[in-house]
Amino acid sequence: MKEIISSNHSILIGKESLLHIDTSKYSNVAILVDENSKKFCLDKLPKIKNAITIELNSGENYKNLSSCNFIWQQLVKHEFDRKSLMLNLGGGFIGDIGGFCASTYKRGIDFIHIPTTLLSMVDASIGGKTGVNFNNIKNLVGVFNNPKSILINPEFLKTLNDQELKSGFAEVVKHALIYDLSLWNQITSTKFEDFNWEGIIAQSIQIKNKIILQDPLEKGERKKLNFGHTYGHAIESYYIDQGIPILHGEAIFIGMILETDISFLSEKKKDEIKNFIIKNFKLPQIPKKSELIKYMRNDKKNSSKKINFSLLTNIGESKIDNLFLEHEL
């Protein structure tokens, strides 16, 4: 088992990580799941005496204040006090909404992330961001708050289909592109089915952790992690409005293609990145840029009515706060 130390908590990676769930000091325990993590992952947890299970429907369209209301009602119904604990067992959706609800219930109870998807293992559970969507705008309402710990069992990846696994890989690709040329060379020269997932997860987390330790509240360096996400979040919102939600990683892959186009790279390197993504990952149709502008206008990162991007200056290097007027895109 590998341990990575973050700001005020540990990230444990390996089959044995789940043995480190300690509920002894808590008066109540809730396990937050969706229908997928309940079916495939819940029985892998150690038995926790008197724990309640709160189940949500999965999907971005349920990542909203109505679902928060349901969670809070369950906590009140079961008389959870401030010495209670929430275990967030699931993908990024469960981690985001569970972390937010725990952070705001009675001004905050402890929570532990137990991510079950590649996306949540390498990205969503790392860094203390919690939140929900509002008015079809991604993560508009939320807080920064770290879990007590993050427990990652790569065995959960066996519960994912190929589409889910490849969607999560988008964040690994992003971490390589913004920060680590050697990781980029590794993932572009290895067949997808041959990856050592425990090693890839640890490498990817180490990159993100190094960045967030420098900038926990996203005032500077942490903005690099937004590469692919300005267009990516707009694409997610666009498809939600079309009534055909797509996976987060699929949107981020498209976002990285579009943001590579406006990055400070040679045409050769732009083609290297875009061809790798297009060749290896089946993606939805790319919407017209003009259809995405209205979503990007409300992006949290914007400044002075300009759309803010984090862009590449080289493979493995990036630059924050690149501002564009709408007509420049």
State how far the Cα of 27 lies from the Cα of 29, in Å rounded to an integer: 7
Q: What share of the chain is helix, strand, coil (3-state, %, to 5)?
A: 50, 20, 30
Of 192, 203, 205, whose CA–CA distance to 151 is shortest? 205
If one counts every other C-beta atom within 10 angstroms of the C-beta of residue 305, the result is: 9
**Catalytically annotated residue among 138, 175, 222, 301:** 222
Q: Is there a catalytic annotation at residue 297?
A: no
Q: Is there a catalytic annotation at residue 164?
A: no
Tell me the chain's radius of gyration from C-alpha atoms.
Answer: 19
Q: Hunting for tokens 């990036």 — which residue is that?
A: 318
**Catalytically annotated residue among 208, 223, 224, 301:** 208
What stretches of 121-247 show up as alpha helix (H) in DSSP?
162-179, 181-188, 197-214, 229-241
**Catalytically annotated residue among 25, 107, 288, 305:** 107
**Catalytically annotated residue among 248, 259, 308, 322:** 248
Q: Is there a catalytic annotation at residue 218?
A: yes
**Catalytically annotated residue among 198, 218, 250, 259:** 218
- The distance of Cα 16 from the centroid of its chain, to the nearest Å, equals 23
**Catalytically annotated residue among 166, 229, 250, 308:** 229
**Catalytically annotated residue among 38, 63, 129, 223:** 129
Bridge partners of 31, per DSSP, are 53, 87
Q: Is there a catalytic annotation at residue 229?
A: yes
Q: Is there a catalytic annotation at residue 226?
A: yes
State how far the Cα of 91 lies from the Cα of 161, in Å rounded to an integer: 13
**Catalytically annotated residue among 233, 259, 301, 322:** 233
111 touches 102 (CB < 8 A)? yes
Bridge partners of 114, per DSSP, are 89
Q: Is there a catalytic annotation at residue 198?
A: no
Q: Is there a catalytic annotation at residue 233?
A: yes
Catalytic residues: 107, 129, 171, 208, 218, 222, 226, 229, 233, 248
